[in-house]
């Protein structure tokens, strides 16, 4: 059992809280402070985004933070060094990266450096299923979980194929978001998560569109974990001073943790 799967196993009936932050946002020191603040206030796993110039799967807030980090010079080597400094949090760290930076860096080299940095898993949203199959043994060799995505539009047949190679947890994408006023959508998400649970042996975590405790309360019973990114980054973005933003993030995380 991987370190990530072990986290879910030891939650004692609770749901996993998986916050996302962008490496280098608002700057490198602020990024490190934010990571430790998340760890101190209930995060079970921290997802870290490697800034990319064309983040097609990300919303406006994450795109904004990526541009800021890239402008400041954050690259793959800087990200790996920064993440290595976060092992003291004691929280499993997962990196989300598009495939292009990994390919340019060298897939084997990248996976090896991730292992050295203490990273436990990777999320590569634009990695085709066929390519993921080809790299399965390489992920296993380096002891990294290959966390794959499924969405409302993923067929049961494709889910079955993904379930053969995905490890750690399966990332369930709610591309249309979750709102309390859209009962039909909630019903669709519940059905979707039920399908995922029937196809996968590993935990299922829901991300995209979750920004409030009310939303989490409506859907948490159908997933093993909740992923929140844009909301946390927007809190930092809205505050003129980093300390104020960190205090608000801590308050939000405590509320989420209590809900889960």
Q: Which residues are catalytic?
A: 47, 58
Closest CA to 229 of 36, 86, 38: 38
CA atoms of 29 and 249, how far apart (whole Å): 16
Tokens of 67: 């541009």
Cα separation values, 162 from 31, 37, 128, Å: 32, 34, 10
Q: How buried is residue 12: exposed, middle or buried, by Cβ count under 10 Å (0-12/13-18/19+)?
A: exposed
- Give the H/E segment covering residue 48: strand 46-49
What phi and psi values does residue 108 have, to the nearest 5 degrees? Answer: -60, -45
What phi and psi values does residue 72 have, to the nearest 5 degrees? Answer: -80, 0
Parallel, antiparallel, or unpaired: how do β-strands 170-173 and 149-151 relate?
parallel
47 bridge partner residues: 20, 94
């Amino acid at each position: 059992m991987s370190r990530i799967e072990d986290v879910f196993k030891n939650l004692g009936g609770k749901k996993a809280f998986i916050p996302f932050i962008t490496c280098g946002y608002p700057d490198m020191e602020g990024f490190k402070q934010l990571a430790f603040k998340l760890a101190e206030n209930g995060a079970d796993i921290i997802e870290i985004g490697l800034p990319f110039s064309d983040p097609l799967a990300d919303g406006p807030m994450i795109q904004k933070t990526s541009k800021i980090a890239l402008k400041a010079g954050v690259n793959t080597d800087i990200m790996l060094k920064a993440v290595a400094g976060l092992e003291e949090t004691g929280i499993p760290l997962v990196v989300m990266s598009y495939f292009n930076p990994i390919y340019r860096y060298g897939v084997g080299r990248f996976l090896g450096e991730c292992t050295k940095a203490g990273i436990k898993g990777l999320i590569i949203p634009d990695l085709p299923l066929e390519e993921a199959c080809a790299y399965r043994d390489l992920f296993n060799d380096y002891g990294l979980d290959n966390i794959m995505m499924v969405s409302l539009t993923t067929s049961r047949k494709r889910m079955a194929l993904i379930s053969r190679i995905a490890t750690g947890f399966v990332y369930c994408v709610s591309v249309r978001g979750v709102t309390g006023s859209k009962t039909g959508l909630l019903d669709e998400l519940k059905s979707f998560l039920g399908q995922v649970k029937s196809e996968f042996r590993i935990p299922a975590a829901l991300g995209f569109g979750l920004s409030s405790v009310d939303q989490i309360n409506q859907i948490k019973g159908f997933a093993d974990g909740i992923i929140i990114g844009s909301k946390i980054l927007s809190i930092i973005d809205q505050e003129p001073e980093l300390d104020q933003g960190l205090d608000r993030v801590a308050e939000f995380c405590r509320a989420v943790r209590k809900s889960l």
